[in-house]
Amino acid sequence: MTTIQTTDKADPKADPREAILKAAGDRILHYGYNKTTMSEIAADCGMSAGNIYRFYPSKIDIAEAMTREFGKNSRTFYEEIIRDAARSATRKMHDFFIARLERTFRIFAEHPKLMELAEIMGRERPEYLAEEAAQERLQIERILDEGQKSGDFALPADLTITADLVQCAMMKFRIPQLWTTEQLDALRPELAGVLNLVFTGLSARR
């Protein structure tokens, strides 16, 4: 993600959009979203404040682009779990949610200013968050579908409804604002406990 892997300066020879996201990421991670201005981002890119608006009409548009890149990279990371033929569907479900929790927790622990960005995105761009949830639900559907075909799962409802219910059950472990006072060592066994309940429900008709 552009906002996580940073260097000392944005590369002025880079694609303008990439350079803007790089500069914005550096500033937001250090100072926070509210204390970062478009003029500062433009200066870090070596362009005028007016020119930056050609690429991103507002600061929240930059924030969304950064968040989209993170979401894309995260889905690619989880895709490796889903495509791993050596794992059963049950193991994929477990590893998917554990990886999601650990990845999110560590990024927010390393970059606490991202919490401010997450809260602002929730207020200003809820439609984007809904889109991200829908993308994740599709990945859960694929695991459930594989599990149903292999006999690991007996779905209590249709595939889409079951994926939605599983996602709802695991919601706490995907939203950093819900565990700001908890540590990863406490969240892991809690997640495992909720997953055990999910697996019990999915296997109830076997």
Fold classification of 1-57 is Arc Repressor Mutant, subunit A (1.10.10)
To the nearest 10 degrees (0 to 180), the angle between helices 59-82 and 114-124 is 100
Which amino acid, one-letter code, is at 144?
A: L
pLDDT tens-place string over residues 102-137: 999 999 999 999 999 999 999 999 999 999 999 999
Distance between alpha carbon 113 and the CA centroid of its chain, in Å?
16
Instruction: Single out the residue of 112, 21, 115 nearest to residue 5, CA to CA.
Output: 21
DSSP for 99-150, please give it. Answer: HHHHHHHHHHHH-TTHHHHHHHHHHH-HHHHHHHHHHHHHHHHHHHHHHHHH
Rounded distance between C-alpha atoms, residue 25 and residue 141, angstroms: 32
Q: In the prediction, which pLDDT does 156 show?
A: 86
Give the chain's residues under pLDDT 50.
1-10, 12, 206
Write the CB contacts of 46 (distance below 8 Å, at least 6 apart in sequence): 10, 12
pLDDT tens-place string over residues 176-187: 888 878 899 999
pTM over cut 0.75: yes
Q: In the prediction, which pLDDT does 102 show?
A: 95
Place of tokens 């959009």: 17
Rounded distance between C-alpha atoms, residue 119 and residue 100, angstroms: 19
Are the CB atoms for 29 and 35 separated by under 8 Å? no
Could you say which of 3.80.10, 3.90.1570, 1.10.10, 1.10.357 is the CATH number of the domain covering 70-202?
A: 1.10.357
Token pair of 149 as six digits: 């075909």
Q: In the prediction, which pLDDT does 206 show?
A: 46
Q: In the prediction, which pLDDT does 13 show?
A: 59
Give the start-to-end residue ranges of the domains of the chain. 1-57, 70-202
